Amino acid sequence: MARKKFHKILWSSEEDKVLVDSANKLTDIDLAKLLNRSRYSVYQRAKRLGILIAKYNKPTWSEAENQFLEVLADAGCSQTQASQLLNRPRTSIQAQALQLGILWPLGSYRRAYRPDEDHIIKEYAIAGKRIIDAQANGLRRSRSSIKRRSKELGITWTRSRLGRPNLKKAA
Q: What is the pLDDT of residue 162?
A: 45
Q: What is the pLDDT of residue 171?
A: 44
HSE-CB at 60 with a 13 A cutoff on CA atoms is 10
For every one of its 171 residues, what pLDDT tens digit does the chain have, with 9 covering 90 and above?
566 666 678 899 999 999 888 877 777 888 889 999 988 888 888 888 888 776 655 557 889 999 999 888 888 788 888 888 888 888 888 888 888 888 776 554 567 788 888 888 888 888 877 776 767 667 777 777 788 888 888 887 766 644 555 555 444
Distance in angstroms (rounded) separating the CA atoms of residues 151 and 166 = 11
Distance in angstroms (rounded) separating the CA atoms of residues 131 and 111 = 18
Q: What is the pLDDT of residue 14?
A: 92
Q: What is the DSSP string of 86-147?
A: HTS-HHHHHHHHHHHTPPPPTTTTSPPPPHHHHHHHHHHHHHT--HHHHHHTT----HHHHH
Domain regions of the chain by residue span: 13-49, 63-100, 115-170
Residue 4 identity: K
Distance in angstroms (rounded) separating the CA atoms of residues 151 and 146 = 9
Residue 26: closest CA among 7, 52, 47:
52
